Amino acid sequence: MGYKLGQYIPGSSLVHRLDPRVKIAAVMLVSITVLRADAFIVVAVTILLAGITFIARLSLAHLLRAVRPLVIFFALIFLVHLFFTPGAPSPLPLATYEGLYRGVLLTWRFVFLILSAAILTMTTLPSELISGLERCLRPLRPLGIPSHDVAVMVSIVLRFVPTLLQELDQIKEAQMARGADFKAGNLLARMKRVSSLVIPLIRNSILRAEEVAMGMEGRGYHRGPRTYMRELRMTPSDYIILALLVILTGLGVYRW
């Protein structure tokens, strides 16, 4: 199974080495800024993004791969704006120049949101992301969000997605060996066959969950505080970048 956990691209650039908390904060801050951005901010932020991509030694192909899943949706939004925005008519029937401008701006905002998050995952190991997430959620503990337990659950998800995919393949093969054809029949027949995949998958997952829970308790897991093998330490460059980010976001929001 070709499933890859995350899109991490190994490297040792400044972006790779930044504290995951700083990177998570960066994506949050920049995403908020860009949400109501005008053309000026969009251009400024695009230049920033290009700079980060260069420093992190990521290629354009990497970035395109991240956007691809949502291309159809983006195209739809772009076209709706292009054709349904009132304004000066353009050579294309129904389309307006205002529509073109709005379509490009809005679509680019969304592409940007996807790209900034993609750069985060491409330059940060999943386990570092979880550590960063756990630290970022700690201030919410008084609100009843147990950061330690959330981190453990996220790591269980990442641990078991590939295993469940392997299992899905096995169930599928077993059923095809018994003559099930997943590409024939009417809709109802296909739906039935999907149920015959999903039911064993869930049934096994329930038994699995029981055993996983027991295994965790057997290894002394209890809800609440625990320590971590991985330590996060902010370096001077982390602080400098964070300060720069806050200033830039402030400037961006000021322009709203």
List the interface residues with other proteins, window 115-134 (CB under 8 A).
115-118, 120-121, 124, 126-127, 129-130, 132-133
- In the structure encoding, which two tokens stand for residue 172, read together? 């599928």
Binding residue (CB under 8 A) for other proteins from 84, 87, 181, 240: 84
Length of the chain: 256
CB of 252 to other proteins, least distance (A): 15
Our finding on whether 17 is near other proteins (CB under 8 A) is no
* Number of residues forming the site for other proteins (CB under 8 A): 94
Binding residue (CB under 8 A) for other proteins from 81, 95, 96, 245: 81
The C-alpha atoms of residue 221 and residue 139 are separated, in whole angstroms, by: 22
Query: In degrees rounded to 5, what are phi and psi of residue 29?
Result: -60, -50
Chain centroid, CA 6 distance in Å: 9
**Are the beta carbons of 223 and 146 closer than 8 angstroms?**
yes
Residue the block writes with tokens 């009417």: 186
CB of 240 to other proteins, least distance (A): 23
Region class of 26: left (phi > 0), else alpha (psi between -120 and 50), else beta: alpha
Nearest to other proteins of 7, 13 (CB atom): 7
Nearest to other proteins of 33, 241 (CB atom): 33
Nearest to other proteins of 91, 208 (CB atom): 208
3-state secondary structure of 128: helix
Instruction: Give the x-and-dash track for 132-171 against other proteins (CB under 8 A).
Output: xx---------------xx-xxxxxxxxxxxxxxx-x---
Rounded to the nearest 10°, the torsion over CA 195, 196, 200, 201 is -50
Nearest to other proteins of 209, 240 (CB atom): 209
Instruction: Give the x-and-dash track for 185-224 against other proteins (CB under 8 A).
Output: --x--xx--xx-xxx-xxx-xx-xxxxxxxxxxxxxxxx-
Q: Classify residue 158 as exposed, middle or buried by CB count within 10 Å of its CB (0-12, 13-18, 19+).
A: middle
Residue 178 DSSP code: T
Instruction: Give the x-and-dash track for 25-54 against other proteins (CB under 8 A).
Output: --xx--x---x-------------------
CB of 178 to other proteins, least distance (A): 18
